Chain A
């Protein structure tokens, strides 16, 4: 029975660096003994002197703790994965809480190479201690160039960690100014920054964090006209944008320039992270060849997001970026990592290079950059009838028999809603069609007009003909009709 054993980093010095080893065995104890036979140095870490598996070594079979199975007599079968999980006490000046390891196997401090200054040795000492970094790795980081596209929720932890780690040149692309509503998640900015250009504020904070990193500001939008020039000066591109057109542009330009992209995206409590590199694996368009219709997917401004979510996903992107630059570990290339914050769980899916990919296949149908706004349907005429805030105001004042349906979430409805409107959250619409009549003159309302446009489309598909969408949502109502309503 061949089983796979995943070796934790702390024990890899005994397996000649191998992250996993295949052994024969029909129980956990047999498999571990086979492992210890092959790598003698492991024996005393895994077994007591009388030959039992040590109590502080946690072993999992296919992600289940053997203490809840049959302990060391737990049977294993071909294809099973056994995982050795040491207890780790990191986070503070700790070491691996592995009694024998912390004493014997602490990585030897690399001898100071002439290239690193005293200040650098001090600043980067905690990562210089890692054999995967060391002085040579730190040199690589100091010589590397990373472009972060988007300095928002994902871009904040990304830029902070990459600058802190000593990435030599850090380029940032953004056109926005700091808004109060950014501060809840965009930890690169502070309250006094509100109203300032994001990149100006970012540069100040990143310089204060690590003055030796060259911060390059690319104020403005990434466009098909400037993408090649902008990206070509960098080794790795990190996608921290918040919209589909820029994501497709970042992907296509990186494919054509043969550069890796570290991708991250969030939706409410969920996130995705992966690495795209068309030279050796898939690209974004192998995964999603075409964008969803505009307005189908709510943005953070519409959908809401908890600040730690981009913190987690952006930090994972920073980790992948550093691994690519160092050439260490296994990146997420070919694996899409899904995170669910509500259950705090990860799920992994394999992503293959698509033989039909429009841009990275051997026979691409697209060989240059295109108009990504048009590609994603942004600015395209709306698919159904709309009503402006002012028109709606006129009709309500004239006591026209319109039925206002607010498709936001109940919490948003509580913050503010149009008088007389009724709440049917978009997700419940399908189940509550009975509450609406096809004879009524319906006007659908949300915060920005995207969710209600989608809901209008859905109602039309269900046979409702008199459906109009409030153009620009309540934000437009606040701008054009009643500035006193709370904006959120």
Chain B
């Protein structure tokens, strides 16, 4: 999977804009992926609860977050920001 990071989530992973990951074998859902990323990058922990997530260009709503991800999916993690 291609995981796209933006704004502060990028900084929390040491400036990486894209991560390559496989769907976690234990829990191949978005929640599973986020748990894996949080373990690897603890600085993500305070940010993720306020982020929105898109899979293949479409924002996830509610129950969709529990669907299984596939290895070809592109996941975008978007924190809010308000600069102007």
Contacts and interface: CB of A to CB of B under 8 A. Distances in A.
Interface string B48-59: 001010100111
A266 B57 CA distance: 20
19 contacts: A243-B82, A247-B82, A264-B84, A267-B7, A270-B6, A270-B7, A287-B59, A293-B50, A297-B80, A300-B83, A300-B84, A303-B83, A347-B76, A348-B57, A349-B78, A426-B43, A430-B43, A458-B42, A458-B46
Contact of B84 (A241, A297, A351, A354): A241
Interface stretch (A4-12, A151-159, A434-442, A473-481): A151-159
Contacts, number: 113
Given A153-B84, A242-B83, A300-B83, 11 more contacts: A239-B84, A247-B82, A266-B84, A270-B6, A288-B50, A297-B80, A340-B6, A350-B54, A351-B59, A356-B62, A454-B46
Interface centre among B7, B59, B78, B82 (most CB of A within 10 A): B82
Interface in B66-84: 76, 78-84
A430 B82 contact: no
Contacts of A54: none
A292 interface: yes
Given A292-B50, A349-B54, A461-B45, A266 B14 contact: no
A472 interface: no
Interface string B6-32: 111001101101000000000000000
Nearest to A284: B80
Given A348-B57, A349-B54, A288 B83 contact: no
Nearest to A272: B81
Contacts of B15: 427
Contact of B82 (A297, A347, A454, A458): A297
Contacts of A166: none
B80 A292 contact: yes
A243 B4 CA distance: 25
B57 A155 contact: no
Choose among B46, B52, B80 the residue with the greatest number of A CB atoms under 10 Å from its CB: B80
Given A338-B6, A348-B57, A287 B52 contact: yes
A351 B53 CA distance: 11
Interface string A276-307: 00000000000110111100110110010100
A462 B42 contact: yes
Contacts of B12: 427, 430
Interface in A439-488: 454, 457-458, 461-462
Interface of A: 150, 152-155, 239-244, 247, 264-268, 270, 272, 287-288, 290-293, 296-297, 299-300, 303, 305, 310, 338, 340, 343, 347-352, 354-356, 426-431, 454, 457-458, 461-462
B81 A267 contact: yes
Given A154-B84, A265-B84, A310-B84, A457 B61 contact: no
Contacts of A239: 84
Contacts of B50: 288, 290-293, 296
Nearest to A348: B57
B81 A266 contact: yes
B80 A291 contact: yes
A265 B82 contact: yes
Contact of A265 (B42, B61, B62, B83): B83
B19 to A, nearest CB: 15
B57 A244 contact: no
B11 A296 contact: no
A199 to B, nearest CB: 16
Given A349-B54, A349-B58, A427 B11 contact: yes
A349 to B, nearest CB: 5
Contacts of B4: 347
B47 interface: yes
Contacts of B43: 426-427, 429-430, 458
A431 B54 CA distance: 27
Nearest to B83: A266
Contacts of B11: 426-427
Given A267-B7, A347-B76, A352-B59, A244 B45 contact: no
A292 B79 contact: yes
B39 to A, nearest CB: 11
Nearest to A158: B84
Contacts of A429: 43
A435 to B, nearest CB: 15
Nearest to A266: B83
B1 to A, nearest CB: 16
A155 B58 contact: no
B47 A296 contact: yes
A185 to B, nearest CB: 10
A302 B2 CA distance: 30
Nearest to B82: A244
B81 A297 contact: yes
A229 B6 CA distance: 36
Nearest to B8: A297
Contacts of B84: 150, 152-155, 239-242, 264-266, 300, 310
